[in-house]
Amino acid sequence: MAAGPKLELIYGNDVRSLSPAQFFIVGRSNGADLRIDLPIVSRRHLVIGYKNGWYVEDLGSHNGVFVRGEKVERVALTEATEVRLGNAKNGPVLQLQPDAASVSAAATRSLTPQEFSQMLRTVAAPPLLTGALEALTVRAHHAPAASYAGAPPQPGAAPVAGLAAPAGAARMAGPATLTGGLEVRGLEFTVEGGKKLLRDITFDAGRGTLTAIVGPSGAGKSTFARAVSGLTKPSGGQVSFDGVDVHAQYDRAKSMIGMVPQEDVIHGQLKLLPALRYAAKLRLGSDVTPAEREAHVQRALAQLDLEAHIHTRISKLSGGQRKRASVALELLTEPAFLILDEPTSGLDPALDRQLMSEFRALANGGRTVLTITHSVACLDVCDQVLVLVPGGAPAFIGSEQSAFAYFNTIDWSNIFDLLKNDPQGCADRWLASVEARALAVEHSLKPAQPVPDTEAPQRATSRPMQFFTLVQRQLSLMLADRGYTAFLIALPFVIGLLPLVVPGETGLTRVQGAKNAQEPQMILTLLTIGAVFMGISMSIRDLVGERSIYERERAVGLSTSAYLAAKIFVYVLLGIAGSIIIVTISSLLKDPPTGDGVLGLGARTELTIGIAVTISVGVLIGLLLSALVSSQNQVMPVLIVVLMVQMVLNGGLIPLIDSGLLNSISMTVPARWSMSMGAVSIDMHHLLSIADEVERAAAANSMPELDPMWNPNALRWWLAAGVLSAMSALMVAVTWWRTRTR
């Protein structure tokens, strides 16, 4: 490599002098020349090299390389350059300064104050979000460059490497107040009928602050939480965090937001440590190593003081511990913006104080923390309080002590009475107050700084990895529920015993006489209905039972397709195993079918395939119903109705061919086609043709007409299989749509 001038690299307090004779790798890998241990950074993120001049090149990183807000693949370093990794606004920053020999005269000219102010918006890496990374200190924390021209030099300020300040411009470096954070402007939310739940809310919550949202019932506090988190799109106004529009740029914003809703969003059947490990696999990305994921899990546990409970089932934790477990789940991704909806609800005052103190500590780590609460006992630990009246309008924004002065009382119950008795008056008084006007002026002087459209959204992890992780978690959930596991094990054995209730001795072979002449038909009918019941019962409680968990996971990047595919995969495997058990048990109790079957696989093997298909279709019916119902209380009535329809219209219990309307309706019932598959495979027409001629003649008038859908030919079998496949595809599509859009 040709000789050339050196390059100075600055990352926080780490200053390197790079030689043209080397390639310099920056990434999260232990083998990187500069290791940056942050989830947003890929293992091999970028390379710095020299060829006819210094350059930076992206090594195919997951989240990209940014220079002056633009995503770049490769850029020449002809002047002092600030390079951000993973995020144009908040990614870790490298300051790169080539030697004078490689810098053109244009690059070394003095900057105007306006240019200097624009270039110096931030002077170092963003504040690190966990105590575990405190060693990676930086020179400054997003020091704002609002007014450099004519400003006096800052005491103790050090020059920013590689930037020449214009005359009259002060150079800023060293510790400074954290900038960025939450900006809410004119937020409104209106439901059908024109009723407003939120009205013209404007306020800021900077980095490193803890804000409480309080107000009487009906003040729209939870609606506000969902709106600022991006889960609900407001009717008007704008919400941004660190310059990113939370709604218009949600794919970018969601990686910065952690949301802890009122209900627990962590599986109660699992122990704490496995639950967090599964969540880490789903949220932290495909290029994060197992050791790095484990480090994130351990940091989250340590931050919430949960190490002593890692082997405790979550359902056995106390209320406060479960809430901390939900917070730990969100801390895995180190969000810069944390929202907690009623985190202390139902807790005693001591736990209330403990949790609020922990939230204060989280804010002190550089986050913006927002807590929605009815409790007012610990508002003294908050930087500010947003008070809402019923109807969702602001009645005060400021510290707790300022609120006492504003409302002329130190009793929050008196304040709440005032808010409930005169909500409109309280809202109007606030709008007319000196405090509100001062905040309005402050907001007007703080222009929004949108992230460039070229910034790449962050993604949680790949769909294949999500799929395999969800399969593992689904199996763990099933094994953790001993009662459910016992039910699943026993069910195929019970279904296999059902043929015992059918009188007769021929089983699934050809009947010999008029007595019990419908035995094969009744046995196949019971096995078909039992298989449908097994499939539906396995899955009907699944989606509705973990809906809140899924919604939170989807908000941070979970693929609906991977989510449903994992569940279908597990249940279909169980269905295949169950079909083998069912046919084996029934064959031990009654004579099994003989012959080659219509596919040449053997009648017994084809019967097993048919039962497996029936269970699988039942699984899809159960998932569809689970996606459609609103609560678990609706599951049992729906299950009974659907099962009765399958029982009546499968064609085995009640002859359908003589009823035109009923027969037409039955064509939409999966059990009808499942019955057809089984009947074709075992040659039901032959089995029901009584071997003895005298007996056959005697039974001719009492035997029902044979169903033409049971004709033993391969075309009939494949037709039934095709219809069931089409029904399955339709059910999966509707389930996916309903799960995603609910």
How many residues in total does the chain contain? 742
Question: Of 598, 603, 604, which is closest to residue 719 (Cα–Cα)?
Answer: 598
> What pLDDT, on a 0 to 100 scale, did the predictor assign at position 134?
32
Half-sphere exposure of 270 (CA within 13 A, CB side): 19
- Contact predicate 224/389, CB 8 Å: no
The answer to whether residues 680 and 706 touch, using CB atoms and an 8 Å cutoff, is no
> Hey, which of 79-88, 433-442, 504-513, 530-539 has the most confident mean pLDDT?
530-539
Pairing, β 384-388 against β 368-372 = unpaired
All structural domains of the chain, each given as residue ranges with its CATH number in brackets, are 7-109 (2.60.200.20), 181-260+336-444 (3.40.50.300), 463-741 (no CATH)
Query: Would you tell me how many other CB atoms lie within 10 Å of the CB of residue 555?
Result: 17
- pLDDT higher than 50, residue 601: yes
Enumerate residues 6+ apart whose C-beta is below 8 A from 620. 535, 539, 568, 728, 731, 732, 735
| Cα separations in angstroms, 637 against 172, 196, 553 | 68, 36, 29
Contacts of 47 (CB under 8 A, 6+ apart): 23, 24, 25, 26, 56, 57, 59
Q: Are 618 and 706 spatial neighbours (Cβ–Cβ below 8 Å)?
A: no
Please answer whether residues 220 and 189 qualify as being in contact, where contact means their C-beta atoms are separated by less than 8 angstroms.
Answer: yes
Residues 6 or more apart from 589 whose CB is under 8 A from it?
496, 497, 499, 500, 507
Tell me the residue ranges of DSSP E strands in 556-615. Answer: none
Q: How far apart are CA 706 and CA 685, in angstroms?
A: 7
Cα separation, 527 vs 650, in Å, equals 12
Distance CA 297, CA 130 (A): 12
pLDDT in the model for residue 30: 76
Residue 701 has a pLDDT of 65
Closest CA to 161 of 119, 200, 133: 119
What's the whole-number mean pLDDT along residues 194-219?
Answer: 89
Residue 366 pLDDT > 50: yes
Using one digit for the tens of pLDDT, what is the confidence trace for 422-461?
999 999 998 888 777 777 766 665 655 544 444 444 555 7
Which is more confident, 552 or 122?
552
- Tell me which residue of 607, 609, 638 sits closest to 623, measured CA to CA: 638
CA angle (61 as vertex; 57, 66 as ends), nearest 5: 60
Average pLDDT, whole number, for the chain? 82
Question: Is the pLDDT score of 348 beyond 80?
Answer: no
The confidence score (pLDDT) of residue 323 equals: 86
Q: Which residue, among 205, 550, 176, 496, has the nearest Cα to 359 in the 3D structure?
A: 205
Model pLDDT, residue 145: 31
Given a cut of 70, is residue 333 above it in pLDDT?
yes
Q: Which pLDDT score, from 0 to 100, does residue 378 have?
A: 83
Decide if 208 contacts 384 (C-beta within 8 A): no
Question: What's the average model confidence in pLDDT over 712-733?
Answer: 95
User: What is the spatial distance between Cα 397 and Cα 537, in angstroms, rounded to a whole number?
Assistant: 52
Range in 432-441, 462-471, 613-622 the model is least confident about: 432-441
Place of tokens 């440590």: 273
Among 146, 48, 41, which residue's Cα sits nearest to residue 97? Answer: 48
Give the Cα separation of 413 and 427 in Å (integer): 18
Q: Which residue has the higher pLDDT, 325 or 121?
A: 325
738 versus 141: the higher-pLDDT residue is: 738
What are the distances in angstroms from CA 299 to CA 75, 291, 324, 447, 519? 36, 12, 13, 36, 64
Q: Give Cα separations from 30 to 16, 43, 57, 65, 736 (angstroms).
A: 18, 8, 20, 20, 41
What average pLDDT does this structure show over 568-583?
Answer: 96
Mean pLDDT of 371-394: 89
Question: Are the beta carbons of 61 and 42 closer than 8 angstroms?
Answer: yes
Does the pLDDT at position 553 exceed 70?
yes
pLDDT category of residue 115 using cuts at 50, 70 and 90: very low
What is the percentage of the chain residues whose pLDDT exceeds 90?
38
Per-residue pLDDT tens digits for 531-547: 999 999 999 999 999 99
Is 124 a residue whose pLDDT tops 60?
no
Q: How far apart are CA 174 and CA 183, in angstroms?
A: 25
The two structure tokens encoding residue 246? 């939370």
pLDDT digit string, tens, across residues 634-685: 999 999 999 999 999 988 888 887 777 888 898 999 999 999 999 999 988 8
**168 has pLDDT over 50:** no
pLDDT tens for 280-329 read 999 887 778 888 889 889 988 988 888 899 999 999 988 888 888 988 99
Give me the pLDDT at residue 727, please: 96
Which pair of structure tokens corresponds to residue 542? 């699944």
Could you give the percent of the chain with pLDDT greater than 70? Answer: 84
Q: How would residue 702 be classed by pLDDT, with cut points 50, 70 and 90? A: low
In this predicted structure, what is the pLDDT of residue 141?
A: 33
